[in-house]
């Protein structure tokens, strides 16, 4: 059973703000999901290789050439805050 302190830690790792009153609900739901997942423990997988791709294909490589055009202005037009070509966030370094 995940404790409410575990939920707060996981939420922090995922950078998710969770309201205090929602913590017990998430604790119950996540614990139930992990209980469901624990059915996996009954299977002996000691000799099984983990599967990364159903067709056993590995990542395709391509020549290291520029293929996309520069769309900086268009892409930055979707940002919440931009200044002189940079994405604006609250001050990081004092």
Partner 1 sequence: MHNKTLAELSRSLRNKEISSEELTRLLLDRCNKFNKSLNCFISLTEDKALSLAMEADVKIKANNAGPLTGIPIAHKDIFCTHGIRTTCGSKILDNFISPYDATVVKQLESAGMVMLGKTNMDEFAMGSSNETSFYGPVENPWDKERVPGGSSGGSAVAVAARLAPAATGTDTGGSIRQPASLCGITGLKPTYGRVSRYGMIAFASSLDQGGPMTRTAEDAAMILNAMAGFDERDSTSVDREVEDYIAALEQPIEGLKIGLPKEYFDERLNPDISQIVHDGISELEKLGATVTEISLPSSTLSIPVYYVVAPAECSSNLARFDGVRYGYRCEDPKDLNDLYCRSRGEGFGREVKRRVMIGTYVLSAGYYDAYYLKAQKIRRLIRDEFQQALKDVDVIIGPTTPGTAFRLNELMDDPISMYLSDIYTVSVNLAGLPAISVPAGLLNGLPVGMQIIGDYFAEARLLNVAHRFQQVTDWHQKKPTGYE
Report if residue 66 touches partner 1, rule: CB under 8 A.
Answer: no
To partner 1, the closest distance from the beta carbon of 1 in angstroms equals 13
Residue 8 binds partner 1 (CB under 8 A): no
- Output the smallest distance, CB 72 to partner 1, in A: 11
Instruction: Kindly report the number of other CB atoms within 10 A of residue 26's CB atom.
Output: 19
Other CB atoms within 10 Å distance of the CB of residue 30: 15
Tell the smallest beta-carbon distance from residue 5 to partner 1 (Å).
13
User: Would you count residue 38 as binding partner 1 (CB under 8 A)?
Assistant: yes
Q: How far apart are CA 22 and CA 7, in angstroms?
A: 10
**Interacting residues of 3 by C-beta distance below 8 A, sequence separation 6+:** 27
The token pair at 2 is 């995940």
Task: Answer yes or no whether residue 72 interacts with partner 1 by CB under 8 A.
Answer: no
Angle at 11 between CA 8 and CA 16, to 5 degrees: 130
Which stretches of the chain bind partner 1, using CB under 8 A?
Answer: 2, 7, 10-19, 22, 26, 29-30, 32-34, 36-41, 43, 45, 48-55, 57, 59-60, 62, 71, 74-75, 78-81, 87, 89-92
């Amino acid at each position: 059973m995940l404790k409410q302190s575990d939920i707060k830690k996981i939420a922090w790792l995922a950078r998710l703000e969770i309201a205090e009153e929602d913590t017990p609900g998430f604790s119950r739901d996540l614990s139930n999901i992990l209980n469901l997942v624990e059915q996996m423990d009954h299977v002996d997988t000691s000799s099984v290789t983990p599967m990364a791709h159903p067709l056993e294909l590995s990542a395709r490589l391509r020549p290291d050439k520029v293929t996309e055009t520069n769309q900086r202005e268009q892409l930055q037009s979707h940002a919440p805050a931009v200044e002189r070509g940079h994405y604006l966030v609250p001050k990081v370094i004092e």
